[in-house]
Structure 1
Amino acid sequence: MSIEKDDRDYTSGPRNISVNAYEADLKATAHKLNEKESLSAWLTILASGFGLISDGYQNNLMTMANVVFKELYPKDYTSVVATRVSNALLVGAIIGQVIVGLVCDRMGRKVALVGTTLLIVLGATLGTAAHGANPLGLFWFLTIARGITGVGVGGEYPASSTSASEAANEKSIQNRGPIFIMVTNFVLSFGGPLAVSVFLIVLSAAGEHHLQTVWRVCYGFGILLPLTVLVFRMRMLSSKLYRKGAIKRRVPYWLVVKRYWRALIGTCGAWFLYDFVTFPNGVFSGTIISSVIHNGDIKKTAEWQLLLGVIALPGVFVGAWLCNRIGRRNTMILGFSGYIVFGLTIGLSYNKITTIIPLFVVFYGLLQSFGNMVRDIQISLHVLMQVQGPGDMLGLTSSDGTCYGLSAAIGKTGAAVGTQAFTPIQNNLGKRWTFIIAAICGVTGILVTYFFVPDMTGVDLADEDAKFLKYLTENGWEGEIGEDDDKGVIVADDEEKI
């Protein structure tokens, strides 16, 4: 069925559309791409992957930088300063996820994607050139630079991830989950080993007596990654799902919250717990490994850190393989179970296991690997749920940016809280308790996932978008939907069409 419309000239405004007609048209055309749209869909998927590699690199840049700064400024780089510099990216990410989500809604996704890329480039450039009259001034400069970078990194979540999900949905519904996971969570996780690899290469070239050069070159490398996708993003096409389903005005936030509050609790709660554990353990893992290595040798610390990052990667592949076989919710529960097993194993035997560094690093890596299984499904659920409720909430509707950004910001709040609490927990309770608390978060995560997270395995975004639009009209909502030539005014089916 085609979209119903009358014979009037609509060049000056949107057309009136029956919700049933729009639903049929949306599902009928969501996967019919012309050659240009098909190529754009593949390029969108690839560009999202390259863009999120940049995010993963920035997320893990401080892992070895913390070790270097502690070596260069043993008196000035206190735990308070280290926490502030490390947390700046997360605070910026929270701001970026909300603001860039609004930009997606009001100005379009293309503007948001180009803006996030430029912010990452600006922040990385400022960080590379950071100076101060004294070490304290240098670290304040770095704090501001990392905050700017964080706004760009945070903005990638509501802008880049959603476009990758829609493009994957258009190209392959059956394999959308695994494809999406590989171009989002895999590249984010790969940012860890990449950051350490760059560090080791630069360290080997410059030598351990030129640590100032080492950390600045590592920061500078972060400028190049986002530039690889800038040209494409300036020429990109929005996905067909976004063009046909974007609500630009009269966004029905209350109706979404009213229907999907349960799912919102599940997705936001699970993301908060995941980030609370994973981010501080990632940022400070280099410091932890350095503390158990004899003399805290920087190169050996980096080598063990690289092994830890590599061990964490298989969790991404396992999650991608399992998501369609046992379901997304069950895969997430399995990932949280890994927090319990390895968190308790490391925490309860910390004094003994840290004397066997290979065993400690392997178990630490497995803890992170199971966390990657959680993030596989968490990112996937947040984007899949955009079409029907909070979590990524309005998704293909206008709040695809706003509400996704808001829920992702709650997750990053967990990361910021975890990073802020990490050092006090170590100082007051002991290092073992950072792992025991990870196990506690695993138990909580399982409960939240079981009772609140919906299983979205095999869901077609076009179907869900159509169901959501029907729900809106059943509750009396009317408004403009779509972009440019696809725009229309949704009206209830029993109303007379003008």
Structure 2
Amino acid sequence: MAGQLGVLNALDVAKTQWYHFTAIVIAGMGFFTDAYDLFCISLVTKLLGRLYYTKPDAPKPGTLPPNVAAAVNGVAFCGTLAGQLFFGWLGDKLGRKKVYGFTLILMVVCSIASGLSFGEEPAAVMTTLCFFRFWLGFGIGGDYPLSATIMSEYANKKTRGAFIAAVFAMQGFGILAGGIVALIVSSAFDHKYNLPPYNLSKDGSKVPQLDYVWRVILMFGAFPAAITYYWRMKMPETARYTALVARNAKQAVADMSKVLQVELESEEEKIQKMSLSDSNSFGLFSKEFAKRHGLHLVGTTTTWFLLDIAFYSQNLFQKDIFSAIGWIPKAEEMSAIHEVYKIAKAQTLIALCSTVPGYWFTVLLIDYMGRFAIQLMGFFFMTVFMFALAIPYDHWTKKDNRIGFVVMYSLTFFFANFGPNATTFVVPAEIFPARLRSTCHGISAAAGKAGAIVGAFGFLYASQSKHKKDVDAGYPTGIGVKNSLIMLGVVNFLGMLFTLLVPESKGKSLEELSGENDGEEATERSSARTAPPV
């Protein structure tokens, strides 16, 4: 059977070696960059509003109009969704490695281009920024299915979950790095320009140098991606793609012999037998796929969709939530650059105390607890803490209770990452056949980004004040932060229910999980029946 191919058996039982850690770092730096690029925009959106939308003699600092804010925050997710579908499909057609380098180049170029967004009018600058961030997201989208698939196909079955989760855990360091870079840049400018409370300069005009702040923060994302390009191109194609999809056992053995530093036997006869079997040649839209993996795909797509509604709402708009409860001062009480510093400080604290630890708890425990238990637990506690924040919301807005709010809000991040934010990435890379693995992971991830788009656009409007006095004053209306948090709690509860459709993949080989063993077993049984008697 496919699992009995020597090269795949060798990968399944291989001890943890240096090449595992190398693969984690190479693939993980892509996710470091992905997270940095996706979330650093939330650090500078308020600065963009103050720079480009503050009117002369205005009583308050300017803010991005809701439609512009939604576009700036959400356009990268639209690109990411498209990239996940396209590159996921392409990774199964051309191979993981051939596509891997292109996504990285696209990320580097568009990170730099985003920081160089040009235009004489605010609308022109925002349009250019959105254009480049869409294509930045397109490159980021390709990184999801390719990195997950490559790591799952390189790993052994005993610690596969930890290795894939470790790649994804680099996302936490990317979020943390975004906060740290913004702290450093804003602090440097804050000390150089002694700015009054809310005007951009003492005469009310824009300080031109402040335009550099958001551009430097966005362009820094190109650096970690660029330094890993060479090593990505040096990685060999995965043996599972070469053997099971390209049907080149000789090349698979040659590649993995170098990686594992052992002598492996080329088993071309077994590959030929597998090629003769039609039982595993079904396509994505076939009845056989629906029968074997239909519910699995429904489970991976719906849980990732629901998770990302909550996760990206929390990440992108935590600054608005912290402002609403008074943890971050009002905009008119501080300069534009100091506001960036305050927002970055809050995000860095949350990432350091809850986001990053949550990821690494998953890495440590996923191969002991299993994917199913961690995902169910994560959704459960996210639901509990969301309702605990939302129902007594007025209690948390009081000055003496703000620290309690921040602690509980941090716990929702912790259990998102020690929970479904990690497992929704891991499982689709394990349970589908090799020739459809990247495609199915891309579909699952794209469903997640659809949820992120709902979070980015929907939460922005939903969380607007619901009070009539604010509407009369010209502010957009919504259901308010409290009801928005209740909605997110309901979303997390639905995620817990749909987790029941996701299978446990702990400790099993990829071929056993995907059913790719079945094809050769059928061929062997058929050969035994038709063989002439001795």
TM-score (norm 1): 0.83
Counterpart position of 1:3: none
Q: How far 1:24 sits from its partner (Å)? A: 4.4
Counterpart position of 1:181: 165
1:468 to 505, 513, 516: 516
1:435 to 472, 480, 485: 485
Partner deviation per Cα, 1:63-95 (whole Å, 9 max, x = no partner): 211222233234572111011111111000111
| In 2: Cα distance, 1:73 partner to 1:269 partner | 39
| In 2: Cα distance, 1:99 partner to 1:178 partner | 27
2:314 to 268, 281, 285: 281
One-letter amino acid of the structure 2 residue matched with residue 137 of structure 1: A
Task: Assess if the C-alpha contact under 8 Å between 1:98 and 1:409 holds in 2.
Answer: yes
Q: How far 1:139 sits from its partner (Å)? A: 0.6
Counterpart position of 2:29: 50
Task: Assess if the C-alpha contact under 8 Å between 2:425 and 2:445 holds in 1.
Answer: no
Q: How far 1:345 sits from its partner (Å)? A: 1.4
Task: Assess if the C-alpha contact under 8 Å between 1:342 and 1:366 holds in 2.
Answer: yes
Task: Assess if the C-alpha contact under 8 Å between 2:296 and 2:503 holds in 1.
Answer: yes
Counterpart position of 1:197: 180
Alignment of 1:377-396 (within 5 A): 377-386=423-432, 394=433, 396=434
| In 2: Cα distance, 1:149 partner to 1:189 partner | 19
Counterpart position of 1:482: none
One-letter amino acid of the structure 1 residue matched with residue 316 of structure 2: V
| Counterparts in 2 of 1:159 and 1:491: CA distance versus 1, 3 Å | farther
SS at match of 2:358: helix
Partner deviation per Cα, 1:338-363 (whole Å, 9 max, x = no partner): 22111011112223313343322222
In the alignment, does 2:304 pair up with 1:256?
no
Q: How far 1:324 sits from its partner (Å)? A: 2.9
Task: Assess if the C-alpha contact under 8 Å between 1:94 and 1:413 holds in 2.
Answer: yes
Counterpart position of 1:376: 422
In the alignment, does 2:446 pair up with 1:400?
no
Q: How far 1:30 sits from its partner (Å)? A: 3.4
| In 2: Cα distance, 1:53 partner to 1:111 partner | 21
2:120 to 133, 136, 160: 133
Task: Assess if the C-alpha contact under 8 Å between 2:462 and 2:481 holds in 1.
Answer: yes
| In 2: Cα distance, 1:211 partner to 1:359 partner | 34
| In 2: Cα distance, 1:30 partner to 1:251 partner | 26
Task: Assess if the C-alpha contact under 8 Å between 2:95 and 2:241 holds in 1.
Answer: no
1:305 to 321, 326, 347: 347
SS at match of 1:412: helix
In the alignment, does 2:267 pair up with 1:232?
no
Greater Cα shift, 294-303 or 78-87: 294-303
Q: How far 1:473 sits from its partner (Å)? A: 7.9
Counterpart position of 2:453: 416
One-letter amino acid of the structure 2 residue matched with residue 336 of structure 1: F
| Counterparts in 2 of 1:55 and 1:228: CA distance versus 1, 3 Å | same
Task: Assess if the C-alpha contact under 8 Å between 1:251 and 1:399 holds in 2.
Answer: no
Counterpart position of 1:150: 137
| Alignment size in residue pairs | 447
Task: Assess if the C-alpha contact under 8 Å between 1:381 and 1:456 holds in 2.
Answer: yes
Alignment of 1:10-29 (within 5 A): 20=1, 23-25=4-6, 27-29=8-10
RMSD: 2.7
| In 2: Cα distance, 1:418 partner to 1:473 partner | 46
Counterpart position of 2:363: 320
| Counterparts in 2 of 1:274 and 1:247: CA distance versus 1, 3 Å | farther
Partner deviation per Cα, 1:137-191 (whole Å, 9 max, x = no partner): 111111111100001111001111211222222xxx322222321221x111222
| In 1: Cα distance, 2:421 partner to 2:244 partner | 27
Task: Assess if the C-alpha contact under 8 Å between 2:79 and 2:137 holds in 1.
Answer: yes
Q: How far 1:410 sits from its partner (Å)? A: 1.1
| In 1: Cα distance, 2:130 partner to 2:520 partner | 44
| Counterparts in 2 of 1:323 and 1:235: CA distance versus 1, 3 Å | closer
Task: Assess if the C-alpha contact under 8 Å between 2:33 and 2:224 holds in 1.
Answer: yes
Counterpart position of 2:11: 30
| Counterparts in 2 of 1:350 and 1:231: CA distance versus 1, 3 Å | same
SS at match of 1:188: helix
| In 1: Cα distance, 2:235 partner to 2:290 partner | 32
One-letter amino acid of the structure 2 residue matched with residue 445 of structure 1: G
Unmatched runs of 5 consecutive residues or more in structure 2: 54-61, 194-206, 248-274, 276-280, 465-477
Counterpart position of 2:93: 106
| In 2: Cα distance, 1:158 partner to 1:215 partner | 30
Task: Assess if the C-alpha contact under 8 Å between 1:289 and 1:305 holds in 2.
Answer: no
In the alignment, does 2:251 pair up with 1:214?
no
| In 1: Cα distance, 2:282 partner to 2:106 partner | 28
Q: How far 1:33 sits from its partner (Å)? A: 7.5
Greater Cα shift, 67-76 or 340-349: 67-76
Q: How far 1:236 sits from its partner (Å)? A: 1.5
One-letter amino acid of the structure 2 residue matched with residue 232 of structure 1: W
In the alignment, does 2:72 pair up with 1:85?
yes
Counterpart position of 1:457: 506
SS at match of 1:313: helix
Unmatched runs of 5 consecutive residues or more in structure 1: 1-19, 387-393, 477-489
Q: How far 1:290 sits from its partner (Å)? A: 3.4
